[in-house]
Structures are given as C-alpha cells and as structure tokens.
Chains A and B, each alone.
Chain A
Amino acid sequence: MHENPSSDTQISRRSFLRRGGLAAVFVALVGEGYAMLRSLVPNVLYERPKQVKVGRPQDFEEGGTFLEDYNLFVFKEKGAIYTISSVCTHLGCNVKLHLLPKPRTVELGGKRVSESFEFACPCHGSLFHSDGSVLKGPAPKALPRFHVALSPKDGQLVVDTGRQVDTEFRLTLSA
C-alpha cells in the first residue's frame, strides 16, 4: 500500500535534511558561543593563597594591629588572638579603626561591654562595633572573622581567609 508522503505524520526527505541542517547550525553556534563565554571564566586563579602567615604572636602588641597586605585586623587580648577583616560587608571598601574620644558602654552579643574604638567605612558610611557587628549604615552584616592557628614549624600565626569563624573564636596562647 502506498502512503501519501505529504501526510501529517511524515516529512519529506528534503524537509528532514533542511531541519537537520538548521538544527546542526544552531547547535554549532550555541556551542561556539558557550565555549567563548566559558573560556572567560578562569579555571586557575593566580591570586594570593587564602592561608597566610602574618608573623609570630609575640611580635604583636596588645590591642589591634592592621595588616595592610591582607586587609586584616589582628587583635591580641589577654593572651588570646582573633582577627577581624577590614573589608566592608556592604561593597568591599577598607574600613578604618577609629579610636573613640572616650569609651562607651554597649550591648554586644547579649553582654554589656565597654568599647574604645569602632570601625568606619569611608565609601558609604557604615559603622561597626569593636566586635565587628553593625552599628549603623548600609552594611548588611558583621565584619567577618577568620580562623587563626599557630604554625607548628615556625610558630607564626596562620590566618585562613577562606574560613570564617564566629565571634567566640579565640586562639589562646600558652604562656
């Protein structure tokens, strides 16, 4: 029995080849486009390592020290070390540590404490408490703190800027 080639369920050889050809062109163009776009997303980053050695704890003074190479504040308080990032959580400017004219009593993390400094961002006016939490301004969250450990090899502090920790984190130095 001979079927009508122009019936709804059948397509002609010419039409099939035309559609196949168009589909191939489409796939090729999309593929090329994707390849070009994807090549612009780096697979290897030639950037600084996330873990950095910042010096021996005994070289830090009591209080805060700003490490400008790492955009990092290192605090040494009563034999314990912690860090606060200087990169504003709003849009990434570098906050500065401002000493207050006189200490003020504030509630931080449910405790009443006295603070003698704050962090201020020059770009859009965010202010942070001495523990890094937001005081006012457009910053959406607290300044991050990073994990600190002692290098067993040379006794230097190793800060891991890829690993955030909470405000309770302290590296206690053995006396």
Chain B
Amino acid sequence: MNIVKAWIRSFAPANRKEASDSIVDNLLLHWFPNKVFRRSYAFSYSFWLGTIAMSLFVIMAVTGVILMFLYIPSVERAYWTMKDIDYVVSYGWLLRGVHRMAAHFMVAVVFFHLVRTFYTAAYRSSPKMVRADRRVNWIIGNALLILTLALSYTGYLLPWDQLAYWALIIGANVAQSTPVIGDTIKELLIGGTEIGQSALLRFYILHCIALPLLLTVGFVFHMWRIRKDGGLACVDSAVEGSGEITTEPASDKSYLLLGAPAETRYTVTTSAFLHPKNFIQGNPHVVKRVLWVFTGTLALTVLFACLLKMPLEAPANPAVAPNPAKAPWYFLWLQELIADTTVRIGSLTLNGGFIGGVLIPTVCVLALAAWPYLDRSPPQAIGVWFHRSRWLQNAVFTLVVLAILALIYVAAFLRGPNWILYPPGVPWPLEPPIL
C-alpha cells in the first residue's frame, strides 16, 4: 500500500505545501508552474485552444503508432491495407476515423489558436515583464501551424487513393514551379521524376517520423517559452494595470526581516497583481484541467469519428484525375489561388503554381511572423481581446481571414467539373463526351 502511495502521492496533494513540493518532485508535474494567474485559466480568455491542440496531437501520436502496425507503405499494397483497416481489422475503422478526425480538428484548432493570439495581441510582451519576448514564441507557433499542415498533407497521401495521388502530383509540381531550385526540390521530395514508390516512402517517413519529431520539439519549445515569458499575455495586462497595495503579510511567503522584535506587527506593500487571490495552484487545478480537456477532446473526436463518413476514394489511377479534383477544405483556398494566379506579361508567363502555391503563402507567412515587430500599439493592448488601439490591424487581419474563408467557399461549393464556376443552386452539367 505504501509503495502505491509513494507513486501517486504527488498527484493528490493534501495541502498547499505538498502541492508546491509536488511540482518539483514529480517529473510529469514539473511541466506545470506552481502558481498560475487565475485569468490565464479562464475559458473565456484562451478558449483552451493550445491544450486542445496538444490533446489532439497526443491522440494522433497514439492512434498513429497502432495504424503503423496495420499499414504498408507500398504503392501496390497501401490502398488495400487501408481497405483492411476499414473493413477487416477489429476497430480499424475507429482508429483511422479518430486519427483522421483529430487531424481535421487540429488544423482548425491550431488556426483558431493563432487567431486568438492575434486578437489578444498575445504575441508581444509588456516592457514591465523582465526578459520576456513573446514574439519568439509567436514565430515558433507559426512554425507549428505549418508543421500541422505538412502533417495533414503527408497524412492524406498515404492511403494512395485518387485524392492522394493527384494531391501528390499537384504538390510536386507546385514545388517544381519555383524558379531555379524547383527541379531539385521536386526530385528531393519525390525521389525521382515520377510519382511512385520512392515518393510514397519519403512522405511516409516524413509523416511518421520527421514531422512528428519536429512538431514535438517545437511544442516543447513553445511551452517552455510560455513559462519564460511569464505565462499567458493576460498576465502582462494585469501587471500593466496593477497599482500598489498594502496588506498583511501573506501566510505562504517568507519575508526577511533583520532586527525586528518578535512582537512587531507589520504590513507589506506590494503590487496588487501579486495578491494571492489572483493565483491558483498549478497542482491540482491546471493538472486537472489538462486531463479534463484531453478527455473531452478525445470524447468529441471519437463521437465525430463514429458519426461522420470516412472517405476513401478509388485506388490511385495515373490515367484519370477525378473531375473536379478537390483538395481537403484547409487547402482549397490555395487550390483556388493556384487556379487564378497565372500571370502573363508580354511573352513572360508566371505559373499560378508558383504565384499562388509558393509566393503568396510565403509572403503570408513572412508577414505573419513579422507582424508583432511592426505592431506599434501601446502595452495596455497586450492580453486584451480586441483592444481599441488595434482596431485597424484587427480589421486587416479579419479581412485576410475572411478572404481565405471566401476562397475556400468558392472552391468547395461553386467549382464544378473542369473547375468551372457555377453560381449557387445551378446544377452541374453532365460531363461533355470524353474520348
């Protein structure tokens, strides 16, 4: 009994001292801060999007390892192992469904996390915060979003169905459309000049090893930076707005007093922000929240995996592209851009694959990464939703997000066979005769 107790003791602290000690004593709890600013904990401030994204990644890491035992990365067999997973393996459909659903959710949640961080100006630090610079963490976050998208892309290539094959063709040719280095990048990505076994193997290894490893390292770095930056940005806003107060000495703090007689009554003058009522214990409160958020995320993912149909298109057919051939929702805005941005200036033609597929996304990412360095709003805006001083940049950001959503809408609902634009409600015609 004592042996068990010794192992689980730190998870059930009896008092504040044990709770604080547990953070230091337990490797798993060492992840969490001892004291957490109460507002950081509020759903209404952060919507817990980071915790949800982390939960989704853990769900995918676990289901992904099981799926690796069931899937064979071979162009002849990959598709049929997918069929086995869906129809033959016990609960295979559930594993694949949960993995797939979690992937879709993760793209959305990581994106919303970025949107939340932008609207709360949480990508900057108040000058009052010592040695803090959230701009670094913002850039790590941008990289994590790109890694999430790369994991999604490499993930849906693996079934080697029509969606996978033509996404790979288009992806490889977008890379190739880059001037000067395009051919080299394409060859390096697909291991040759044609889409085949070496391409599948490369994307399999990227999906199962390289990208998850990078994402894990980036995620740990992201968490560590949150601690170094003094917590969530709402801490900065509290510090900015905090005056001094004079109170009784706090019962859980030590004060060094030299030469004071034992019976002296004294008061402490401190920042109002530091008042103990503003803080909660990391253990058990934050630990519990993480566990609840994980459980809830898992429950929702399983529910949606059971409710929604899991698509698997026809086996990859190099002779016939689906008509219309559409990317998953989170890439549709890029597909729409790629289709619209071929530029002809005199005899010079720039392929839309490069403009819409490489140039515009690169500019977007660079602008995003540089934004906190250009944001000139006052420190009072940090950690506050929609601060008045940032109305213009919030409006610009909102317009870009809406433009992306509009492009996704057009590509998803208005593009018919041969990528022709059909207004809502107009039925798509039967295809013209094909030779």
Contact = CB atoms under 8 A, between A and B. Distances in A.
Interface of A: 37, 40-42, 45-48, 64-66, 68-69, 71, 73, 90-94, 96-101, 117, 120-125, 127, 137-141
Contact of A125 (B174, B187, B357, B420): B420
Nearest to B421: A125
A101 B194 CA distance: 35
Given A42-B187, A123-B321, A137-B342, 4 more contacts: A40-B191, A42-B198, A91-B170, A125-B415
Given A91-B353, A139-B342, A122 B321 contact: yes
Given A41-B188, A117-B435, A93 B321 contact: yes
A141 B198 CA distance: 29
Contacts of B196: 47
B423 interface: no
B153 to A, nearest CB: 15
B352 A124 contact: yes
A66 B419 CA distance: 22
B418 A92 contact: no
B340 interface: yes
Across the A-B interface, give the 4 residue pairs with the lowest CB-CB distance, nearest first: A125-B419, A68-B319, A122-B323, A124-B339
Chain B, interface size category, equals: 35 or more
Contact of A98 (B349, B352, B432): B432
A90 B188 contact: no
Contact of A92 (B172, B323, B340): B172
B58 to A, nearest CB: 30
A138 B435 contact: no
B249 interface: no
Contacts of A94: 318-321
Interface string B167-207: 00110111001000000100110011110101000000000
Contacts of B335: 123-124
Nearest to B355: A138
B296 interface: no
A138 B323 contact: no
Contacts of B353: 90-91, 138
A41 B198 CA distance: 11
Contacts of A65: 435
B342 A91 contact: no
18 contacts: A42-B198, A69-B319, A90-B338, A91-B177, A91-B338, A93-B170, A94-B319, A94-B320, A96-B434, A100-B432, A120-B432, A122-B325, A122-B418, A123-B335, A123-B339, A124-B338, A140-B349, A140-B350
Given A138-B351, A139-B342, A92 B173 contact: yes
B435 A140 contact: no
Nearest to B320: A94
Nearest to A89: B351
B433 interface: yes
Contact of A96 (B166, B187, B342, B435): B435
B417 to A, nearest CB: 7
B359 to A, nearest CB: 14
Contact of B419 (A68, A96, A100, A123): A123
B341 interface: yes
B127 interface: no
Contacts of A41: 184, 187-188
Nearest to B354: A140
Contact of B351 (A98, A127, A140): A140
Contacts of A122: 321-325, 417-419
A34 to B, nearest CB: 13
Nearest to A120: B418
